Structure 1
């Protein structure tokens, strides 16, 4: 995975091969397949490159079709499906070895005034400056050294915000340029990091447990309000259901001042491969 925020920004800066055709490079990683958040972020970057800069992404829906190969680049082909007076729609196909590994639909909107309400931010949280780092928590739970976790997720600063294990403070590990599209891509990347683990918590299991085969199946993200991905965001997660070797989880991302910035939903594979049921 990216070993610094600079590496992540470079990862999201796709190479344009031809009109509406981009190539995304791969980082050094010990993972067996491409991290889902990387594909999300790169696919959104490809779609954003084909939309007028004043139009801001407000939703995306993606399906993971095949495991990504970490040894070769990923080709992204965004299709300009619609450009209306206010909204633009894009469909992106990510491919490797001549086969699609990921589909995504994204919608962009020219900002406009309207009605406004939101759910309140959860209370009684550990402030981010006092919260333990995720790598330290995972070391205690999984036995894998914190340095190993840090190496994989060095582009992000992630900390445990509550004792339940489903609330995290998250931000980019450094300063980002003032580019709204880039901040959205970084948030898309980060939104896949801890969410599937929420569906394992009710069973006392953590991501990385060798008795579980995990994989993202689909991912949806809605952007509600302005935010910066290099400032603290509270990632409040829940898992309403797990069945048929699949876990379903939802998340809400709040700015530190309490504004609901984005909502997330994901279903993932949590197949037991060495677990007594």
Structure 2
């Protein structure tokens, strides 16, 4: 296999797992940024990719439910073991355990379904500006270099997100000066480049499983922003909270492509006990509700060190 040339190529290579044995796959890890652990969206996307490798081609993921059990070590590969729970007439269920250093770090259950017709309705897409009118990350982040701890931190974040064109509709939480805001957030996102799975008459959306895994990867980037906004906190990027994803659930409603603009509309209904809950809806640019997301995250205020 040739070496990945672009950031998107590298991301796709990260999701292209090595098959070790029947139902066992190995995934590479990316470099840690800001926090010394593997990015949760990567683990979830790789686990879902592993599950999909064992499912008939006529079935697409419609839901996943997962728990982050331990921090992932960015210096070691992750082994994914797939348990073939059920293969029914219409639905297929898989359970995946991600293991590092002999212990589980992540657990996922996913369900896949054959395409069929049924009742149709959805919520309307909320208003949002055209993504092409919004600043790119490379244009936005340097404005907050001092708040983020310097240009080196800005460069780290930009390198970590090179494969994704992610644009904030409003100011992100790290721009906050301590003033609480309405606990809602919107971002537009798409992969930074086209995914080379050519649509055809039998696959108008390309490889749906690949695009679902790419959306799963991105879904963990900003979902807890709305929790931080409610309290005027800038987040782990500025060090005024310590946080991590605890669990993550997604429902995939309609076909989409991750290399076309998607609106991620996010809100937080509550936070307490060191945990914050966030909900998200992902819409295609033409207004179709494609994905629903719910996540609970660990969000703690760092203890101040007392000098002796």
Q: TM-score, normalised on structure 1?
A: 0.94
Note if 1:70 corresponds to 2:99. Answer: no
> 1:173 matched to which residue of 2?
192
Structure 1 window deviating more from structure 2 (68-77 vs 28-37): it is 28-37
Note if 1:216 corresponds to 2:219. Answer: no
In 2, the alpha carbon distance for the partners of 1:150 and 1:239 equals 26
Q: Pairwise mapping of residues 54-133 of structure 1 onto structure 2 (< 5 A)?
A: 54-123=58-127, 125-133=128-136
In 1, the alpha carbon distance for the partners of 2:142 and 2:261 equals 23
- Verify the 8 A CA contact 1:157 1:171 in the aligned structure 2: yes
> 1:17 matched to which residue of 2?
20
Structure 1 residue 139: Cα displacement: 4.3
Structure 1 residue 3: Cα displacement: 7.2
Q: Which has the larger radius of gyration?
A: 2
Alignment root-mean-square deviation, CA: 1.7
The alignment of Structure 1 onto Structure 2 pairs a total of residues equal to: 273
Q: Pairwise mapping of residues 157-196 of structure 1 onto structure 2 (< 5 A)?
A: 157-162=165-170, 166-176=185-195, 177=197, 178-196=206-224
The one of 190, 212, 225 aligned to 2:254: 225
> 2:276 matched to which residue of 1?
247
Structure 1 residue 205: Cα displacement: 1.3
> 1:150 matched to which residue of 2?
158
- Verify the 8 A CA contact 1:212 1:274 in the aligned structure 2: no
In 2, the alpha carbon distance for the partners of 1:197 and 1:127 equals 21
Structure 1 residue 204: Cα displacement: 1.0
Listed as ranges, the gaps of 5+ residues in structure 1 are: none
Q: TM-score, normalised on structure 2?
A: 0.85
